[in-house]
Amino acid sequence: MESLKTESVNKELDKLELVNGIIGTAIVNRNGLTIISRLPRYVEERKFGAMAATMFGAMETAITTLQDKVVNLTVEFNDYQLIIFIVSSEIIFAALLELDIDLGLLLIEVEDCVKTIKNILEV
């Protein structure tokens, strides 16, 4: 990503840091390489990126039998939730969320952020 686009994406991710319930966010290449990370120190960025891309790819493969496209993937773990959105054919957005959080308002914020990031990367 060119530096101007990276800076604009970083500003959008900064806004999400202020949203209650978001633990961390990352922009990940579909191959699993973490491009931009706002994850806590205890989360290994490389493993997180690989896990998010692998899980999303597996879901896309599984959904082909329904002849539909995946819009987002939400996975609940013991301590947190993971949500993944498509940004482009090569990039996904992943966010770690607190486990017991109301997803309604939080998803609105995340979806707006993803939409803005898509627009930034298309230019």
pLDDT 10s digits, 22-52: 999 999 999 999 999 999 999 999 999 999 9
- Other beta carbons within 10 angstroms of residue 43's beta carbon come to 14
pLDDT band at 67 (very low <50, low <70, confident <90, very high): confident
Tell me how far apart the alpha carbons of residues 31 and 116 are, in angstroms, rounded to a whole number.
22
DSSP calls for 50-112: HHHHHHHHHHHHHHGGGT----EEEEE-SSEEEEEEE-SSSEEEEEEEETT--HHHHHHHHHH
* CB-based contact 28:35 (threshold 8 Å): yes
Structure tokens at 110: 């995340």
Tell me how far apart the alpha carbons of residues 62 and 64 are, in angstroms, rounded to a whole number.
6
Provide the number of structural domains found in the chain. 1
pLDDT 10s digits, 69-100: 778 899 999 999 999 999 999 999 999 999 98
| CATH code for the domain of 91 | 3.30.450.30
Structure tokens at 43: 């989360």
* pLDDT in the model for residue 86: 93
Provide the β-strand partners of residue 86. 92
Give the distance from CA 68 to its chain's centroid: 20
Range of the domain at 9: 3-122
In 17-63, beta strands by DSSP E:
22-29, 34-38
Read off the pTM: 0.91
